[in-house]
């Protein structure tokens, strides 16, 4: 949705980079000719290919409005691009107007008695990239789904990178840096977009200053991680371990002393248990069990001597294995095509609509506002700690203050902020005007907040549960109205 969903264009872009970063090690592991390229070249090639296919899908979705014409157009593009790649990579020396390679390519795709021909591999790789493009175009962009994709992709990257280094010796560390660069950017942008939606904002394009701030923070984070990974290598860690050898010896002696002391303390209990087990075993006659085991072993030996027939061997004709190979490739192709059609149907059902929203200018703070909010939260927490101490009432007070602050924040984003000097009970009519139909829950929430913020009376468990129910009811009503 690079063309249709302009506000989330950068999120789709980063998700594509994240996907290619964990897929590339498996591609290098499966298709050996790709190992002639550098890992960065492989990433760039497949990333650009995925980006191109995604743009083609968006263009077709924009200009072909009916179905199944849209699906047929995509299927035609899959076939044409597959033949184009076969011509470019398998038959590059043929003359420009020499079309005999088409016959050879078609014959190679259906005849692979010796092994998988390169034509078939190219078809499968191209179909796989198209599959990822259609999936990227139809995915749901929210914080939960993007976070899940990030965690699953990280596990796949660990597995793929480890297997690639083990079986080919290729260092795939560049895929790790690319994955986390794109992944962290996608997660951050998705979270910002979700918070904007919660605040009744369509979440249009992030202002350039704020986007530059976000990218700068992620870039600095990755630079620090790369530097740490280069510094803390196995040689450095071994040198640090040797330098701390006296500490390890001291810790080892201390642990040995503690283990010896524990053994001395529990030795009488262990001796008593041993004596009890010895008494129990001495009273059991095991001679009958031994005779039964000997009789069973003799019976097994006699049965084995009677059955000396040669083992049955199943001879499978070669044509059966060949048929199974054809069947497997055919099923894989049909499955990939079916998934492509499924994702295309999802694209048609949820075509994104352009939304208009005024874009405001925002100063670059480089986290200054977050630091101010964090400092204010620490001061409030310290005040509550002095009042209630380290107890259940402290957690209840913090929970009530957070709930009231969230309600005020929602009202502020709708154009009804609370002045700093206005008491909560004077601000209550404004909240009831913003959240219509929620007068009683808002009144109880305000009362609870005033008790924990200004008074010294703690909330009971029942009152805290009632306050939480009131807060959840206000949030549910706000979401339904939105």
State the pLDDT confidence band at 378, using cuts at 50, 70 and 90: low
Q: Is the CB of residue 62 less than 8 Å from the CB of residue 9?
A: no
3-state secondary structure 125-162: HHHHHHHHHHHHHHCCCCHHHHHHHHHHHHHHHHHHHH
Signed CA dihedral, 354, 357, 358, 361: sign only: negative
The count of other CB atoms within 10 Å of the CB of residue 257 is 10
Which pair of tokens denotes residue 277? Answer: 């087990």
**Residue 14: strand, helix, or coil:** helix
Q: Is the pLDDT of residue 309 over 90?
A: no
Q: Name the helix (H) or strand (E) containing 466.
A: helix 461-481
Q: Point out the least confidently predicted range of 26-35, 60-69, 167-176, 246-255.
A: 60-69
Q: Is the pLDDT of residue 370 over 50?
A: no
Q: How many CA atoms lie within 13 A of 159 on its CB side?
A: 9
304 or 351, higher pLDDT: 304
Q: Is the pLDDT of residue 417 over 70?
A: yes
Q: Is the pLDDT of residue 424 over 80?
A: yes
- Give the integer Cα–Cα distance in Å for 206 and 8: 9
State the pLDDT confidence band at 344, using cuts at 50, 70 and 90: low
Kindly list the domain boundaries of the chain, sorted by start residue: 6-235+326-349, 373-481
Residue 360: its pLDDT value, please? Answer: 41
User: Of 50, 14, 19, whose CA–CA distance to 130 is shortest?
Assistant: 50
Residue 379: its pLDDT value, please? Answer: 64
State the pLDDT confidence band at 362, using cuts at 50, 70 and 90: very low
Q: Is the pLDDT of residue 111 over 90?
A: no
Q: Is the pLDDT of residue 451 over 90?
A: no
In the block, tokens 């154009």 appear at: 415
User: Of 117, 23, 123, whose CA–CA distance to 334 is shortest?
Assistant: 123
Q: Is the CB of residue 179 less than 8 Å from the CB of residue 154?
A: yes
User: Of 436, 414, 441, whose CA–CA distance to 480 is shortest?
Assistant: 436
Q: Is the pLDDT of residue 330 over 80?
A: no
Q: Is the CB of residue 203 less than 8 Å from the CB of residue 4?
A: no
Q: Is the CB of residue 445 less than 8 Å from the CB of residue 471?
A: yes
**Residue 78: strand, helix, or coil:** helix
Which of 320-329, 434-443, 455-464 is predicted most confidently? 434-443
pTM: predicted TM-score of the whole model, two decimal places: 0.54
User: What is the tens place of the pLDDT at every residue in 123-147?
Assistant: 888 888 888 787 776 667 778 888 8
DSSP string of 295-329, one letter each residue: HHHHHHHHHHHH--PPPP-----HHHHHHHHHHHH
Which pair of tokens denotes residue 481? Answer: 């109205």
- Give the integer Cα–Cα distance in Å for 80 and 53: 12
pLDDT, averaged across the chain: 77
Percent of the chain beyond pLDDT 90?
9
């Amino acid at each position: 949705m690079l063309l249709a969903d302009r506000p989330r264009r950068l999120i789709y872009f980063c998700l594509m980079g994240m996907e290619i970063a964990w897929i590339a090690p498996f591609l290098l592991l499966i298709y050996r000719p790709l190992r002639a390229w550098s890992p960065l070249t492989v990433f760039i090639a497949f990333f650009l290919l995925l980006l191109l296919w995604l743009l083609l899908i968006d263009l077709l979705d924009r200009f072909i409005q009916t179905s199944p014409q849209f699906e047929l157009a995509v299927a035609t593009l899959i076939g044409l691009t597959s033949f184009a790649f076969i011509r470019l990579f398998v038959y590059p020396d043929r003359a420009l107007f020499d079309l005999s390679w088409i016959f050879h390519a078609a014959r190679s795709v259906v005849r692979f008695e010796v092994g998988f021909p390169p034509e078939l591999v190219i078809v499968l790789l191209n179909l796989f990239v198209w599959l990822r493009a259609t999936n990227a175009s139809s995915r749901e962009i929210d914080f939960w789904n993007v976070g899940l994709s990030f965690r699953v992709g990280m596990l796949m990257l660990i597995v793929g990178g480890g297997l690639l280094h083990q079986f080919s010796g290729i260092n795939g560390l560049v895929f790790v840096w690319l994955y986390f660069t794109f992944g962290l950017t996608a997660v951050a942008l998705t979270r910002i977009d979700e918070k904007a939606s919660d605040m009744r904002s369509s979440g249009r394009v992030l202002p350039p200053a704020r986007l530059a701030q976000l990218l700068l923070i992620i870039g600095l984070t990755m630079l620090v991680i790369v530097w740490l990974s280069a510094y803390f290598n196995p040689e450095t860690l071994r040198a640090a371990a040797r330098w701390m050898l006296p500490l390890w010896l001291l810790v080892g002696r201390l642990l040995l002393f503690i283990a010896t002391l524990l053994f001395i303390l529990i030795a009488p209990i262990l001796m008593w248990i041993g004596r009890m087990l010895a008494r129990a075993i001495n009273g059991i006659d095991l001679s009958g069990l031994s005779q039964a085991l000997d009789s069973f072993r003799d019976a097994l030996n006699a049965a084995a001597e009677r059955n000396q027939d040669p083992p049955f061997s199943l001879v499978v004709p070669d044509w059966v294995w060949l048929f199974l190979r054809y069947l497997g490739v055919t099923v894989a192709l049909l499955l990939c095509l079916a998934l492509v059609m499924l994702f295309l149907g999802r694209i048609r059902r949820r075509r994104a609509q352009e939304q208009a929203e005024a874009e405001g200018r925002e100063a670059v703070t480089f986290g200054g506002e977050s630091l101010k909010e964090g400092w204010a939260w620490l001061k409030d927490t310290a005040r509550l700690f002095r009042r209630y101490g380290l107890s259940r009432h402290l957690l209840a007070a913090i929970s009530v203050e957070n709930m009231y602050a969230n309600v005020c924040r929602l009202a502020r984003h709708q154009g009804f902020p609370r002045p700093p000097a206005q008491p909560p009970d004077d601000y209550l009519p404004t909240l009831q005007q913003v959240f219509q139909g929620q007068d009683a829950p808002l009144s109880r929430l305000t009362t609870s907040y005033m008790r924990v913020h200004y008074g010294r009376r703690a909330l009971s468990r029942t009152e805290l549960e009632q306050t939480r129910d009131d807060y959840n009811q206000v949030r549910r009503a706000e979401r339904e109205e939105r």
